[in-house]
Structures are given as structure tokens and as C-alpha cells.
Amino acid sequence: MQFFWTLVALVVVLGLAWRFLGSYMAAVFEGRVHWLGWLERPVYAALGTSPEQEQSWKRYAGSLIVFSAVSILLTYLIIRTQGSLPLNPQHLGAVSPALSYNTAVSFVTNTNWQNYDGESTMTYMSQMAALTVQQFVSMAVGVAVAIALVRGFARRNSPTIGNFWVDITRCLLYIELPIAFVFGLIFVGQGAVQTLSGPVHIHDILNNMTQVIALGPVGFMEVIKELGTNGGGFFNANGAHPFENPTGLTNFISIVLLLCVGFSLTYTFGKMVGSIRQGVALLAAMVILFSAWVGFSSYSEHVGNPAVAAAGIKSQPTGNMEGKEARFGGTQSALYDIASTQTSTGSVDGSNDSYTAMGGFGLITGMMLGEVSPGGDGSGLYTILIYAIIAVFIGGLMIGRTPEYIRKKIQAKEVKLAGLGALVMPIIVLILAGIAVSVAEGRAGPLNGGPHGFTEILYALVSQANNNGSAFAGLTGNTQFYNVIGSIDMLVGRFGIMIPALALAGSLAKKGAVAESLGTFRTDNGMFVGLVIGVILIIGGLTFFPAVSLGPIVEQLIHSKFF
């Protein structure tokens, strides 16, 4: 019953966000919002640019790549030199080069894969000036690419797709900053810590024990971690830690923050292309996939943990509680973790590694579908638009007409770019997973034995290629091998899809509009929604079924065997 009301509340809040945040974001990127103009204008002046100076797609992509490279370098330098920087009450030393590089790539690509324990590795300076900054910036970059692609559909005969610098500045100031600040205060009010003093030493006379409790500037990082679909927490335990996610309310707000921008961008899309119905169609595809996965995984966790049952616990009324927190319970934890894996966030409020075989199947397959339900901020929208282009192409083949989408002709060039965008992720995952299981360094990683060990490796590579960052955390990732292949995985998974998406934007923007006729294949009805879902499931299923069947599926099928 509690789960039911949580879902009702979620639908209401997200529905409001979809309508109002969606139209607000459209207004922001169309340049109709100015309340922080006093801050926005000096930034443009310092950059030597202005909203009127538009860029071609190549220049847009060039700016994005150079900016990302500079961000990786700066993040790397801060983490490497953190030992000599201020705000280091624990006197932590520098982070090793391989781990610093992996972490810098991870936060710049919106992945937030963490091969370290936050509280004993990163200084407050690193957490704030290196990691929190990239949690803001990488969200803005993702949303900017999505908006550029939407402009490709919205514009007619245009050589340009917007200005990268202006788009990310607007996203940072008008969308991220106000939401993060307000919810940051709510999180602290609920019990998330926010301080610059070092760990506190406790002596409990009652219990006759001593304890060291790590503190830090956590609450305000926590909200941008969720809002920006980043997922990299201050502490090792991430959203399970009571100082990051103290109450049932913060758990619920986290879920809302994870999902709100991804879903709302479909409204922004509809508004900018002049037909809300087109946005609703994409929203419907996202919601149907998301609901199916929530139902499946919550049920699987509700059934309980087989190892605990085998040890002699007869009934598990609260579901599988291994690796879950008492204040959230089994099913609400599953809701959070599904929301997090389907938005490319990767924060966790429990241990994904201890999920049941089918619960874990829900987590990993949600990512394997390319993070489109609703996906990461921006990346979800541009990836589902890529799938939508493939869907109209297949639809066009079936009825023998040149496909069109949002009044733009979809021709060979667009289909090739969409195909590239859809296949980059599975290709890099399968190649790297093949390498990891073939070499001793790769096989040394897993904590668990049997099929679960293989799932730990596969999960890591799927998670990083999708810029998710959640983990079956038993895997020992802080090795030269996993740091290096992980960063390749993250970079290819991020830019290998962004660049085709921007090329699509450029190519579509140049085209004129085709007149709608009776023969036009409609893309705002149930049939199209079904076609998009079909394309997503078929591409994901065909590419990953063999790999998944060796992991969670076989783990589910073997009864009474333990490893």
C-alpha cells in the first residue's frame, strides 16, 4: 500500500514537472528567460560570444570536444594535487594517476563511475571543485546536445544549430542552479550533512564504544548528483548512506530529481517543434518501458533473497533486505535503483550486487536499452530521437514511402548516422567485455563466483558505456586494467553518440519542411509508440541477449546451487 501511494505521488509530481519544467526549459533555450541576466551577460562577455553568434554543427561539436578535454584536464589536475590544496581536514594524499584519469573522465562524461571510496580518498576540495563542478557541467553539455538536435527538427533551411557556449550557460544558470539550491536546503534540513569540519569522534558511554564519523559538504552535492543524472556520491555507500539520503522523503525527492528533466525534455521537444503530441509519443514510449522495468524488478526484490532463504529464514515479508536500508524497505529501494539505472544516473540506495538474479537483470537490461526511459539529462532525448529515426525508417520500408519525421525527410545520411549512434554502445561494450574475460587482469576483478562474477564484469562495462556509473560493486575496479578500459568505455559511449547526434542536427536543420499529406506516416499515435518501443527492445535484445543469458538468466535458472 505504501508502495502504491509512492507511485501515485510520483506520477502527480512528475506530471506537473513535465508540463511546467518542460515549457520553462523551452523558454530558457529559446532565450525568453532573463531573470539572471545580470549574471548571464558578463559570462558571455568574458567568453567573447553572444546568443546571436550561432554555430554550424561542426563548430558546435568542436566547442563541445575542446571544452570536455579542458574539463578532463582541470579535473585531473585538482585530484592529482589535492594533497597540497586547502580544505583537506583528513590530510589525504594525492590520488594515483590512473585513478585520477579514470575519475576525471568519469565525471566529465556524466558517468560518475567511482573506483574509489569517497570518504577516504577525496578531499573536500576535490569533492567540491573537481567533482561537483563536473556534475553541473556534464548535465548542461548533455542537455545542450539534445536541444541542438531538437533545433535540427524545428528549423527550416538553417546552416546553424545554436551556440554551444550560450546553451550550456543557460542550462547551468536557469535550470540547474535554482533547483539544486532549493532542494539542497531541503536535503540538509532532513539530515544530510553540509559542513567543512573534519570527521567527528564519538564516545558512547551507554554502549561503551568509540566511533569516527566522516562528514563533509554532502547535501548540496547530493542534489546535483541526482538532478544532473550523475550518480557520484560523496560517500562510498552513495545514496544508501544516511548522510546522503537520510529519510523516506529525501529518497522520494531523489527519485523525482532523477526523472524530472529526462521526462520533461519530451515536452520541451514537442513545444519547440510545434506539436506537443510528438513529445507525448516519445514520453509514452519512455513511460511504458520504465513502468515495465519498475514492476518487474520490484516484484523480483519482493520475492526475497535465495541465499537468506536457504540459510533458514522462512519468509521475507519486506523483500530482499541484503544490502538495503531499513528506513526505505525493499520495494522503494528497488524503485530508486531502477530510476537510477534507467536515467544513466547510477546512484544507488542499496547494494545492486546483492539484488536477486532477476532484480539485477532489471537493472542491467535497463541500461542495455541505451538509457532512453527516460535516460540521462539530454542524452535520453537525443538517444530516443535516434531510435525514432530508425523506427520511421523501418515504418517507411514497410509501406514503401520515403520516411519523414517531424516534417523532415529522413534520407540515407540520417539513417546511417542514426544507425551509428545506436550501435556504438553495444559494440564497445561487447568488445571490452570480451577482452576483460579473456585476460587474467580482467578475471581477477569479480568478488562473487559463478555466473554472478561474470555479471559483475559485464555490468561494469555496460554501466560505463551508458554513462550510468552504478556498479555491481563487488568488482575490484581500481586496477590499471579496469581504470584504462573503463575510461575508453566511457569516452566512446559519450562522444560516440553525441557526435552522430550533432551531425544529425546539422543535416536536419539544413532541410526544408515537407508538406504533410494523407500519405504521411503519422508519428504521434499509438502505432508509432509501439514501433519505437519495438525498435528499442529488438536492438537491445539482439545485441545483448547472449551475454545476459550467461549472467543473470543462468543465475536465476540454477536452483539450489551456491558459489
Partner 1 sequence: MLTQIRRSIVLALFCLVFFGLLYPLVGTGVSQVLFKHQADGSITANGSTLIGQNWTSPKFFHGRPDDFGPYAGTGDNPLVANGKSGDSGATNLGPRSRKLETYTEELITYWHKMGVNPTPDLVTTSGSGLDPDITPADAHAEVPMVSKATGLSPKVLDQLVTRETNSAQFGFLGSDYIDVLQLNEALAKME
Subset of residues 5 to 34 that bind partner 1, contact rule: CB under 8 A: 5-6, 9
Residue 310 near partner 1 by CB under 8 A: yes
Closer residue to partner 1 (CB): 195 or 275: 195
Contact window for partner 1 (CB under 8 A) among 190-198, 275-283, 374-382, 405-413: 190-198
Comparing CA positions, the residue from 226, 267, 231 lying closest to residue 28 is 267
Q: How far is the CB of 405 from partner 1 (least distance, A)?
A: 31
Which position among 84, 157, 207, 438 is part of the footprint of partner 1 (CB under 8 A)? 207
Name the grid cell of 200: 567527528
Closer residue to partner 1 (CB): 51 or 62: 62
Which position among 47, 398, 527, 542 is part of the footprint of partner 1 (CB under 8 A)? 47
Single-letter residue type at 532? V
Residue 165 near partner 1 by CB under 8 A: yes
| Interface positions, 341-380, toward partner 1 (CB under 8 A) | 348-351, 353-357, 360
| Interface positions, 89-108, toward partner 1 (CB under 8 A) | none
Residue 177 near partner 1 by CB under 8 A: yes
Closer residue to partner 1 (CB): 132 or 464: 132
Could you say which DSSP state residue 316 is in? -
Q: How far is the CB of 499 from partner 1 (least distance, A)?
A: 15
Instruction: Give φ, ψ of 213 to 5 degrees.
Output: -115, 120
Comparing CA positions, the residue from 176, 194, 177 lying closest to residue 185 is 194
The position carrying cell 563542478 is 133
Q: Beta-carbon neighbour count of residue 558 at 10 Å?
A: 12
Residue 215 near partner 1 by CB under 8 A: yes
| Interface positions, 107-136, toward partner 1 (CB under 8 A) | 117, 119-120, 128-130, 132-133, 136
| Interface positions, 61-90, toward partner 1 (CB under 8 A) | 62-63, 66-67, 69-71, 74
Measured at the CA of 343, the angle between CA 339 and CA 344, to 5 degrees, comes to: 125
Contact window for partner 1 (CB under 8 A) among 20-28, 153-161, 242-250, 400-408: 242-250
The position carrying cell 526544408 is 512
> In the beta sheet, which residues pair with residue 201?
212
DSSP per-residue string spanning 400-446: TS--EETTEE--HHHHHHHHHHHHHHHHHHHHHHHHHHHSHHHHT--
Residue 240 near partner 1 by CB under 8 A: yes
Closer residue to partner 1 (CB): 105 or 281: 105
Closer residue to partner 1 (CB): 354 or 466: 354
| Interface positions, 445-504, toward partner 1 (CB under 8 A) | 447-452, 472-474
What 3-state class would DSSP assign to 294?
helix
CB 373 within 8 A of CB 383: no
Name the grid cell of 9: 505521488
Residue 503-542 contact track with partner 1, rule CB under 8 A, x = bound: ----------------------------------------
Residue 175 near partner 1 by CB under 8 A: no
Which position among 52, 84, 312, 400 is part of the footprint of partner 1 (CB under 8 A)? 312
Name the grid cell of 502: 550533432
Measured at the CA of 253, the angle between CA 248 and CA 259, to 5 degrees, comes to: 130
What 3-state class would DSSP assign to 200?
strand
Q: Beta-carbon neighbour count of residue 392 at 10 Å?
A: 24
Residue 38 near partner 1 by CB under 8 A: no
Comparing CA positions, the residue from 166, 148, 88 lying closest to residue 123 is 88
Name the grid cell of 232: 557520484
CA distance 252 to 256: 6
Single-letter residue type at 160? T
Closer residue to partner 1 (CB): 278 or 298: 298
| Interface positions, 315-344, toward partner 1 (CB under 8 A) | 316-318, 320-329, 332-333
Which position among 14, 99, 144, 172 is part of the footprint of partner 1 (CB under 8 A)? 172
Q: How far is the CB of 155 from partner 1 (least distance, A)?
A: 23
